[in-house]
Structure 1
Amino acid sequence: MNVDQFTEIARQRSYLLKVYRGLPAKAKAVLQLMAVAYEAIEFPAVIDACNELHYLDQRYPKFTRSTFKPVLTELLAQDLLLPVRQGGYRCDELLVEILTRAVVEAGVFEAMTEAIEETLPLTYLGSSDKIFFQSRDQFIRMARWAIYRHQLDEVPRLLKMLEDYADVGVTITVEEVMSMVFHNPFDPDWARTFPQPVVEVMLELALRGGLQSLAPMQAQFDCLEEICLDPAVPCSDQFLLCGVEQFILRNQMSHAEICLNRISSEMQGGISQYWAWLAFLRGNGDRAIELYELAYATLKNHCENAKFSLMICLVYFSFWLW
């Protein structure tokens, strides 16, 4: 995805949010429920899910077919709900995470998931807890719920079920699912409710991906900047190196130096190339060459040690065969 595409997505999302905020309360409630569900839902099932939610929380509206039809018509006309070729309707993906986060913040996430589960039950293999996913979107529905519940260990387990039992003809990774939820769009306040290592991984994935597409990833960068420059926030060396790269590429040399100085003493011996990069860009060519030579010597020594270890293993293996 290139810069122009990112810009267009941001424009579309801004427009859809403006339309959403102008909706009547009943239409907002329906769209929130559809955002939590993620997967497409048929017309009668949407009504059933809304009514189940009303039973669980009477602040939410109850519908008949006749009272629901105008709401559906309005949401479709505004392109907030989209018809799906296989049947049913789904919330526009540019809004699903924003609305789901709002539902979590309002404290009604569990009520909505329960209403959806009652209306769209999963298929289990016999009496086990193994799910037979009917589609990729059904898997994403459950993976998203696990993420919003901060049950991140559940995502690989769900993915294994998708791979082992479902016949949906698609592949997806844990990283892709996490990125869908965290970066659509990125919300630093919500992201930082997760453990620091999770925040670091998600920021690094987005920012390094942005390098390939030349997308600015400004919200993610701002969050990285806040974390890396705050000495009170512990960071991994790997994340600080990501910060060094980002600051240098954005011509913020003093911030890059702060990150380099924060890296552990144990790691300093292996990052001479970063210090060299910084020295070169500051116009200190002699110091840069000196540091690059040091980095090369370290790398060469590491490779020679690796070759020696491999040779020992081969000798041992030969004796074992003999």
Structure 2
Amino acid sequence: MAIKLALAGNPNCGKTTMFNDLTGSSQYVGNWPGVTVEKKEGKLRGHQDVIVTDLPGIYSLSPYTLEEVVTRDYIMNEHPDVVINLVDASNIERNLYLTTQVTEMGIPVIIALNMIDIVKKNGDRIDTHKLAAALGCEVIETSAVKGAGSKEVADRAVQMARAGIMTRPQHTFSGPVEDALARIRELAADLVPAENARWYSIKLFERDARVLERLRLPADVKAELETIVSDCEKQFDDDSESIITNERYQYISGLMKSCVQKKNAGMTTSDRIDKVVTNRWLALPIFAAVMFVVYYVSVSWLGTIVTDWTNDTLFAETVQPLVGGWLEAAGAAEWLTG
């Protein structure tokens, strides 16, 4: 039976580059059934029994866009043997939001920490061992553009699939949320697969419409679910989806502090420039100075030189003789016809 590997990640994280590197000329492109979203599949180089699927680029697994629905339906319904989650190492904080969701789905996950060359060039450092321990899945540094690490990730994913290695999410939410999820898990214990129970519990807590439609909960279960979620919302004074989102980012913020070291403490050259030109006291004087220079160059100095040269040289030597010749010709023609 063929092994199925799925590539998942944010848009522009290098996913398609890695897919092309892994599959070469053995790939084929079509559309997902019933939708216009592009579907890319191919055989892994050197492995005729391994199929690689390039899932649509998404930022989360929330059911708001067609790409998000396609990706999560594929993972839940087609059951790939391993998900290779590409994470843009140069923009790791935003990318890890999707990672926290993928690791909850009950599918083996391996992280390809892509664009690591950019991170090293900037002088930053990511502790992959700490990151792997915190996320509960293996992390391998890659640079898809340079072809570095891609084969290692794919080979490791194949090994995981054949050995049946599972991913156990390590991150947890705050006490009240975990208590609510535990109660929801008990409610839905007979309705969802055990390996996907945590993911379904979170989606039910968020009142995910597609999951609710899929499970078709009995009326009494649905009523008890609403009570659990509503009580938690009152405690946090926020809606359930925002509660989960905020807690994910709090967890990711903790990961950034423990696993990522920025050489410039997060300040890029662009950030430094912005800090000066958008300063509350300096912004207006800088703007006025720039406008004065633009006015002076365009009107008082460079503008005068260009205008004088255009009038006295360009038009004097080129246009005026042509106009004069045209007038003389017009006068001659009038004399002949007159």
TM over 0.5: no
TM-score, length-scaled by structure 2: 0.24
Higher relative contact order (CA 8 A, sep 6+): 2
TM-score (norm 1): 0.25
Structure with the higher fraction of residues in helix conformation:
1
Bigger Cα Rg: 2
